[in-house]
Chains A and B, each alone.
Chain A
Amino acid sequence: MESRRRTKKQLESELKERGEEILRLKAEFENYRKHLDREREAFIKVANEQLIRQLLEVLDNFERALPLIKDEKAIEGITMIHKQFKKVLEDAGLRRIESLGRRFDPYYHEVLLQEESKEEDDIIVEELQPGYMLKDKVIRHAKVKIAKNMKGD
């Protein structure tokens, strides 16, 4: 009787201990998960995607400015800076999406306008804002104008 009572007590305390242990493991896992989350966030930052996405606007503006500069000397210099800037981004894995003359693809392009044209339906007739890929991922879709075929043409 005595020994049985002792065994029961022993088992009870062991069960309690195990319960505690499991709870601790769970908490540990939780903390590990948080750690992974933080690490992943840091990784994303390292992966530069967000920064490059913002730099695309600067690249756009370079390309908007260039054709409008009148001063020959200034054009030369700014063209060089533009090239240099583009190269830095390309070295990081940036690629421009081909648009003009291609068939519209909603996974790469976004339609802003449609224009009656002799071209076939859905052919891109104007690139309004270039799209870019960072390695294999589209980080900005090209904004385009596409053709609407004039009937009977």
Chain B
Amino acid sequence: MADKREKIIGIDLGTSNSQAAVILGGKPTIIPSAEGATYAGKMFPSVVAFTKDGQVLVGEPARRQAVSNPDGTITAAKRKMGAKHKYKVYGKEYTPQQISAYILQKIKTDSDAFLGEPVKKAVITVPAYFNDNQRTATKDAGTIAGLEVVRIINEPTAAALAYGLDRNEGEHNIMVFDFGAGTLDVTIMEFGEGVFEVVSTSGDTQLGGRDMDEAVVNWLVEEFRKDTGIDLSKDRMATQRVREAAEKAKIELSTVLETEINLPYITADQTGPKHLTQKIQRSKLEELVGSIVKRCRAPTEQAVKDAKLKPEDVTKIILVGGPTRMPIVKKFIEDFTGKKAERGVDPMECVAMGAAIQGGVLAGEVKDIVLLDVTPLTLGVETLGGVATALIERNTTIPTKKSQIFTTAADMQTTVTIHVVQGERPMSADNTSLGMFNLTGIPPAPRGIPQIEVAFDIDANGILNVSAKDLGTGREQRITITASTKLSKDEISKMVGEAEKHAEEDRKRKDEIEIRNNADGLVYNTEKVLAEFGDKVTSEQKKQIEDVKNSLKKALEGEDIDEIKKKTEELTKAVQVIGTQVYQQAQAAQSAQASGAGEEEKKERKKDEDVVDAEYKVEEEEKK
């Protein structure tokens, strides 16, 4: 019996792309490919090549030489798994499982490097429709690569695991809509009592994101031809540039409504160089790929029909594959079923993640995943001006404890109110109030002097304890907030969404409060400085400072933020006169006594320094 728990990696062995993940610190983590990430993500192409000089290339390098070595380059070997097919390359024969083994071997090498120890065991995913032959072939591929395949699991099951659907209660009809680079797989699964069962599958092996890129490239080339009469499709480098720009635009248009493609010097004719500039809106993209999305309908209907269900019987939707990030694809499937798709896991990574989780279960590591939860929303307290000050940021893993020192906002304040709020908005009024309590008996002191430590402590069950302690007296008050305020997933995403929507106005309001708080602090300090050093300036200067101070005070009562800002600046300038005077007088005193006894001079200067020092300290504390 080995003492150390052995890592079991999870592998998504795809038709076009592959990747692997492993449980690290209780969470599935993608194992990076040695060649680094591409624009498309962390996957690498499932391509194997044999060169004339006997080298074997896997992944990106294999793809990069495919044009010049079509006979030695093998793609989509997954489609031949379990068949009696043989690849003949430079006089040698390879079975599909041998080709897949090269891909798995590369994953093993990358994993060994990533984990710093040799990996021996793996979980590999296969399409739900794979038969026994195909599954055995996949297992054999693992063995050839030097991996013990401890389990073969269905891709849709892996995706469901990544979303944590196995922890759901009750029974569900799950639709997994896997729209990859080159294939569409729709699977309906029944879930109950922790078990997933595939009920039906359907799909299209010749439909995917690549077709969408093609549609955008064709449109760009056609538009350019209309403008200039030049056919870019004849120029290999130009088409390459157009293709890369089209893919980038497609990805961008999932988050923005319009983007611009700029390809200067794309080509030239007798009249000189030609540039390609094309604005493209999301609506245009959707028009271009509309027919491809439409082709998803028949397989989707078929899968539901074969499961003897109606679209509305589907209770959970899982999206897999890069193209499902596109709003038009998401909308198609959500309209079809009338349900929102599950969120929170990268659709390009969820199969590998789910395989890693299955590996973690088999290795006895997974308890951690279930136990450790996160706070879905930011927790904080309300501070001066109604600002929500965060103590525990959203997505922090619990249990956790955080504390921060606060102080009073007014002189002689003996009570502070701790108002606990939850949410992403900067103003506490816009967030959810969880509870409120007072800490009393603070000894009277000028504002900014008392130190009150507020501590948030969330235990593993999500129960929040908030305590406030006056560090001066040791007096303490606390409140316990139980899970009764727990929010549903929808409510959480609604709150996060709202925070994003209101980000601009919220920022403005927070700035306003900051301006107000600054002005308030300045008035307070000015009053203090005047009381202490008022005699160092002429009564005229003193009056002027007081006037500006009073007008700022008045502005603070009103709503005109620009006025407050303006008066704050004026007062900042005016009050500096005092500082200048204090120093000048000190210097004058110094030079006047320069000829006097050295002892006396030192003393005098020391006194000045003390004064300045003390004043400085007060300001520092204010800033806190």
Q: Is the CB of A111 within 8 A of B237?
A: no
Mask, B101-125, CB within 8 Å of A = 1, is 0000000000000000000000000
Q: Which of A9-17, A28-36, A80-88, A89-97 contacts B (4 or more CB under 8 A)?
A: A28-36
Q: Is the CB of A31 within 8 A of B400?
A: yes
Q: Is the CB of A112 within 8 A of B265?
A: no
Q: List B contacts of A23 (CB < 8 A).
A: 371, 399, 460
Q: Is the CB of B272 within 8 A of A31?
A: no
Shortest C-beta distance, B382 to chain A (Å), equals 25
Q: Is the CB of B400 within 8 A of A114?
A: no
Mask, A104-128, CB within 8 Å of B = 1, is 1011011111100000011000001
Known: A27-B372, A31-B400. A65 touches B61 (CB 8 A): no
Q: Is the CB of A68 within 8 A of B397?
A: no
Q: Is the CB of B397 within 8 A of A111?
A: no
Q: Bound state CA distance, A93 and B213, in angstroms?
A: 33
Q: List A contacts of B63 (CB < 8 A).
A: 110
Q: Is the CB of B67 within 8 A of A111?
A: yes
Q: Bound state CA distance, A146 and B65, in angstroms?
A: 10
Give chain B interface residues in 289-340, CB to chain A under 8 Å.
Answer: none
Query: Could you tell me how many residues of chain A have their Cβ less than 8 Å away from some Cβ of chain B?
Result: 33
Q: Is the CB of A26 within 8 A of B400?
A: no
Q: List B contacts of A24 (CB < 8 A).
A: 399-400
Q: Bound state CA distance, A56 and B371, in angstroms?
A: 46
Q: Bound state CA distance, A24 and B490, in angstroms?
A: 28
Q: Bound state CA distance, A61 and B273, in angstroms?
A: 12
User: A137 on the interface (CB 8 Å rule)?
Assistant: yes
Known: A27-B398, A113-B236. A107 touches B460 (CB 8 A): no
Q: List B contacts of A64 (CB < 8 A).
A: 264-265, 273
Q: Is the CB of B372 within 8 A of A111?
A: no
Q: List B contacts of A107 (CB < 8 A).
A: 61
Known: A30-B26, A106-B64. A112 touches B237 (CB 8 A): yes
Q: Is the CB of B36 within 8 A of A30?
A: no
Q: Is the CB of A111 within 8 A of B264?
A: no
User: B260 on the interface (CB 8 Å rule)?
Assistant: no
Q: Which of A20, A26, A65, A106 contacts B65 (CB 8 A)?
A: A106
User: B160 on the interface (CB 8 Å rule)?
Assistant: no
Shortest C-beta distance, A42 to chain B (Å), equals 16
Q: Which of A33, A61, A114, A137 contacts B265 (CB 8 A)?
A: A61
Q: Bound state CA distance, A112 and B242, in angstroms?
A: 14
Q: List B contacts of A111 (CB < 8 A).
A: 64-68
Shortest C-beta distance, B203 to chain A (Å), equals 31
Known: A106-B65, A114-B67. A68 touches B265 (CB 8 A): yes
Q: List B contacts of A110 (CB < 8 A).
A: 63-65
Known: A26-B26, A65-B265, A128-B236. A112 touches B61 (CB 8 A): no
Q: Is the CB of A30 within 8 A of B237?
A: no
Q: Which residue of A lies closest to B57 (CB)?
A: A106
- Would you list the 3 A-B pairs with minimal beta carbon distance, nearest first? A64-B265, A106-B61, A30-B397
Q: Residues of A with Cβ closer than 8 Å to B? A: 20, 23-24, 26-31, 33-34, 61, 64-65, 68, 104, 106-107, 109-114, 121-122, 128-129, 137, 141, 143, 146, 148
Jot down 15 A-B pairs with beta carbons below 8 A, ordered by A.
A20-B399, A27-B397, A30-B27, A30-B372, A30-B397, A31-B397, A31-B400, A65-B264, A68-B265, A106-B49, A106-B61, A110-B63, A110-B65, A129-B237, A148-B68
Q: Residues of B with Cβ closer than 8 Å to A? A: 24-27, 36, 49, 52, 57, 61-68, 236-237, 240, 264-265, 268, 272-273, 368, 371-372, 395-400, 460
